[in-house]
Amino acid sequence: MGGDGGPDVTVPATKRFLADYPDIDVTLYGRENALSAHLSRDPSLTDAVISQRLHIEFCPEVVLDDEPPSSALRNKQNSSMWQSLECVASDNAEACVSAGNTGALMAMGIKLLGLANAIERPAICAVLPGGQGWLYLLDVGANVDCSAHQLHQFATMATTLVSLVENIDRPGCALLNIGQEATKGNKLVKEAAVLLDDDPGLNYRGFVEADQFFSSPVKIIVSDGFSGNIALKATEGAARYVLDRVLSEPSTGSTRNLSKANGGTPLTLDPGRYNGAALLGLKSMVVKSHGGADEAGFYGALKTAARAVTSGVAEGVCRHFEQISQ
């Protein structure tokens, strides 16, 4: 129940998700006063059809946005974040979706769900519109500092994800860099480039720059979490700026070409439409929603989790690393 909007966002998004995915049940974890207020305001949440698939678990604690992960790990076992992850760990749910503290989510996820065999660190994998359909960018914030070996693992995990979700054999991958030339970049990306290029299981295509996100011929771009998060946030900010300008300008031929028929809103420019990033490397599926996501954005994160579970992403990553480590 985390994120800036709290239940005002997550509850209506869940209601919409349940209507669109009739075969899936959802359990909401949160503080009693906040959840009870929504249940009392919206009688449809307690009707026979919805109530059979919507379950509520009250939790007295919450992980604060600025709370250190180590503190949350020690002291917040009664929080909604811990309890929802524990539900997955006990096989009572197949995925956890959270808009809360990223560091705490990763720490609790490692503690309760465990890492796939040989994985050193999980990575957050965002999905964006790209030159080859969907573009997968990781890491976007789980790991500020990375080794070349960890970037290699990120590329391998993302390759497994894309192969399962999109049924693409050997999807192209690249490293985020300040230039495409082999001489460009710091020690980290140069060392990682050697590892990726030497791996016959990867379709490594070299370096890409951040301005190639929407035109790159590859499906996967790999980065450390610090650079990846900055690149993602800059892209989101630019998209919102363009979107605001388009909506504020009088309708012209050029702005109409950017718009969809349903109300004239240029939905393809809205970053919230692509919300929901898988935390790859854990033994079960965890999806991180942007903390500032609105109802449509959190609904997108729920869809991302459903798609990942249906495609067997977490199991596929575990299986792949089990095989290559033998």
What type of residue sits at position 36?
S
Q: What whole-number distance in Å separates Cα of residue 209 and Cα of residue 234?
A: 13
CA end-to-end distance (rounded Å), the chain: 40
**Coil, helix or strand for 223?**
coil
Sheet holding 220-222, edge to edge: 95-98, 285-288, 277-280, 123-130, 133-138, 220-222, 172-176, 203-208
CATH of domain 127-250+266-275: 3.40.718.10
At residue 33, the pLDDT reads: 82
Strands 123-130 and 277-280: antiparallel
- Tokens representing 174 are 């690249």
At residue 46, the pLDDT reads: 62
Per-residue pLDDT of the chain (326 residues), as tens digits, is 567 778 888 888 998 999 899 999 999 998 888 777 777 777 666 665 566 888 889 999 999 989 999 999 999 999 999 999 999 999 999 999 999 999 999 999 999 999 999 999 999 999 888 777 889 999 999 899 999 999 999 999 999 999 999 999 999 999 999 999 988 999 999 999 999 999 999 999 999 998 888 888 899 999 999 999 998 888 878 777 877 777 776 655 555 555 443 344 445 666 667 788 999 999 999 999 988 888 989 999 999 999 999 999 999 999 989 888 76
For residues 153 and 161, the answer to whether their CB atoms sit within 8 Å is: no
Q: What whole-number distance in Å separates Cα of residue 199 and Cα of residue 159?
A: 12
- Tokens representing 239 are 């998209």
What type of residue sits at position 141?
G
At residue 266, the pLDDT reads: 44
At residue 264, the pLDDT reads: 46
At residue 253, the pLDDT reads: 52
Domains 1-119+281-311 and 127-250+266-275 share a fold: yes
Q: What whole-number distance in Å separates Cα of residue 251 and Cα of residue 107?
A: 48
At residue 250, the pLDDT reads: 64
What CATH class has 1-119+281-311?
Answer: alpha beta
Q: Sketch the domain layout of the chain as residue ranges.
A: 1-119+281-311, 127-250+266-275
At residue 257, the pLDDT reads: 53
At residue 1, the pLDDT reads: 59
Q: What whole-number distance in Å separates Cα of residue 92 and Cα of residue 84?
A: 10
What is the value of pTM for the model shown?
Answer: 0.87
Q: At what angle do helices 148-166 and 187-198 cross, to 10 degrees?
A: 50
At residue 43, the pLDDT reads: 67
Q: In which residue are the tokens 């060392």 written?
A: 191
Q: What whole-number distance in Å separates Cα of residue 298 and Cα of residue 124?
A: 16
